[in-house]
Amino acid sequence: MQVIDQKYKIQGINLTDLAGKYGTPLYVYDGEKIQSQVTALKEAFSTVKMRIKYATKALSNINILKVIKDSGVGVDAVSIEEIKLCLHVGFEPKDIMYTPNCVSFGEIQEAVSLGVMVNIDNIPMLEHFGNEYGDSVPICIRLNPHILAGGNAKISVGHIDSKFGISILQLKHVLRVVDAYNLNVIGLHVHTGSDILDAEVFLKGAEILFEAAREFKKLQFLDFGGGFKVGYKQGDITTNIKELGEKVSLAFREFCEEYGKELEIWFEPGKFLVSECGILLVKANVIKSTPATTFVGVDSGLNHLLRPMMYDAYHDVVNVSRVEGPDRVYTIVGYICETDTIAADRRLKEIKEGDIIAIKNAGAYGFSMASNYNSRLRPAEVLLLNGKDHLIRKRETFDDILRNQELANW
Ligand code: LLP
């Protein structure tokens, strides 16, 4: 987002024009930003065989998946529906990794029948898999390394209290099951959480994974999950992807030498690829002063962007209707009947009724976590590519709210 000729623009397209053309609230994605993030990640790991498996759940519009696919990236899916979306877009089954948790064995069988590799996250499922398929279907195993990663406990998932993965302390048990069924384990996986700043956390995870990997003879890849931290506000420290690439690649190459085979290293970034590409454009409905502050009530809320309320996540906001003029201090809130503060105590260009506010970093876990709470419609989505805007999801209508509801007779 840049100011050019006194207007806020992305790829030369004026954001207030987009709000006028498609209405608000509106999700807007910069396709070129996704492409440049892919390139940055590939460059950081250019000395090893690195594969990217985009975390579909972050933003699953089929057009975004197509941008991802066209940039030579695979996907990680966490539900059978995400697998079907990716197949629909044209991903080959071999480019899809399925990392479910707490699903029925039936769903795992369906994934196998679609030709997709399964990342197994509990021992009963491993046994189930052995009984059904023996060594005929290659698998990955998700280990929980017991690392508390990142600053936000709500999105740290590799610690001892987490439901995810098989505890590293159960490795002996895993090996017994693998032996008994002669399971074809070609990959090991760890994902320690989201917003991980530090290369050291990845290296700590890597050490644990290497230790476990020594016990498996047929590995083809090690998967380090996602979690790279992106900038949410000016001056934020973010994962230094170049430094991470150098450090992790070095450790990985050393391990491969010891293992006696050049393995692939996989990552499953969600936020890194799509967080900064997205903004949510909303309209100021009301400017309301109370004894404590000045609220700006906008035509959106926790139904469209849950992150500030669910994780206390910070999202930068900008009044894109005004480039000049005095600043004032505001708290931006939604129109939902809950306390849905989007941004508290922000210094912004003076806001007038009808002004368009951009909420930044809305690409990852924005639309994909949106709901119809308060019977509100979900926003439209627009993709900017090659300097053109493309409507990639229509705004919902009242019919969508009624869809699947039956007025019963009694
Ligand atoms: N791989 C696995 C197995 C995951 O569970 C996740 C995220 C990722 C990769 C991608 O992580 P990322 O690179 O996006 O940090 N909704 C939350 C984050 C929860 C993510 C769940 N799993 C948020 O908005 O911060």
How high is the pLDDT of residue 199? 80
Q: Position 102: which residue type?
A: C
Q: Compute the average pLDDT of residues 183-208.
A: 88
The secondary structure of residue 196, as a DSSP letter, is B
Q: Compute the average pLDDT of residues 92-105.
A: 97
**Cβ proximity of 114 and 93 under 8 Å:** yes
Q: Which of 34, 96, 163, 194 gets mutated to test ligand 1 (max ligand atoms within 8 A of its CB)?
A: 194
Distance 67 CA to ligand 1 centre (A): 19
| 268-327 residue pLDDT tens | 999 999 999 999 999 999 999 999 999 999 999 999 999 999 999 999 999 999 999 999
User: What are the angstrom distances between the C-alpha of 199 and each of 82, 233, 249, 320?
Assistant: 29, 20, 11, 35
How high is the pLDDT of residue 362? 98
User: What are the angstrom distances between the C-alpha of 14 and each of 19, 58, 65, 326?
Assistant: 9, 26, 25, 22
Helix (H, G, I), strand (E, B) or coil at 334: coil
CA–CA dist 247, 364 (Å, integer): 26
Q: Is the pLDDT of residue 408 over 90?
A: yes
Q: Does the C-beta of 194 come closer than 6 Å to ligand 1?
A: yes
* Residues labelled catalytic: 337
CA–CA dist 122, 142 (Å, integer): 8
How high is the pLDDT of residue 349? 98
Q: Is the pLDDT of residue 150 over 70?
A: no
Q: Does the C-beta of 99 come closer than 6 Å to ligand 1?
A: yes
Q: Does the C-beta of 226 come closer than 6 Å to ligand 1?
A: yes
How high is the pLDDT of residue 58? 98
User: What are the angstrom distances between the C-alpha of 99 and each of 165, 296, 318?
Assistant: 10, 40, 36
Q: Is the pLDDT of residue 234 over 90?
A: no
Distance 191 CA to ligand 1 centre (A): 9
- Structural domains in the chain, CATH included, are 2-23+278-362+364-402 (2.40.37.10), 31-273 (3.20.20.10)
Q: Does the C-beta of 360 come closer than 6 Å to ligand 1?
A: no
Give the closest residue (by CA) to ligand 1 atom 23. Answer: 365
Name, in order, each residue with C-beta under 8 angstroms of 163's C-beta and a sequence gap of 6 or more: 101, 102
Q: Does the C-beta of 145 come closer than 6 Å to ligand 1?
A: no
How high is the pLDDT of residue 236? 78
The pTM score is 0.96
Q: Does the C-beta of 307 come closer than 6 Å to ligand 1?
A: yes
Query: Ligand 1: which atom is nearest the Cα of residue 275?
Result: 14
Q: Is the pLDDT of residue 104 over 90?
A: yes
Distance 388 CA to ligand 1 centre (A): 30
User: Which position has the higher pLDDT, 307 or 149?
Assistant: 307
With a pLDDT cut of 70, the percent of the chain lying above it is: 98
The pair of three-digit structure tokens given for residue 245, joined into one six-digit string: 């690439």
Average pLDDT, the chain: 95
For the four alpha carbons of 164, 52, 366 and 352, in that order, the dihedral sign comes to positive
CA–CA dist 82, 365 (Å, integer): 14
**Cβ proximity of 72 and 97 under 8 Å:** no
Q: Is the pLDDT of residue 237 over 80?
A: no
How high is the pLDDT of residue 151? 62
Strand order in the sheet with 2-4: 2-4, 7-10, 13-14
Query: Ligand 1: which atom is nearest the Cα of residue 313?
Result: 25
Phi, psi of 312 (to 5 degrees): 55, 35
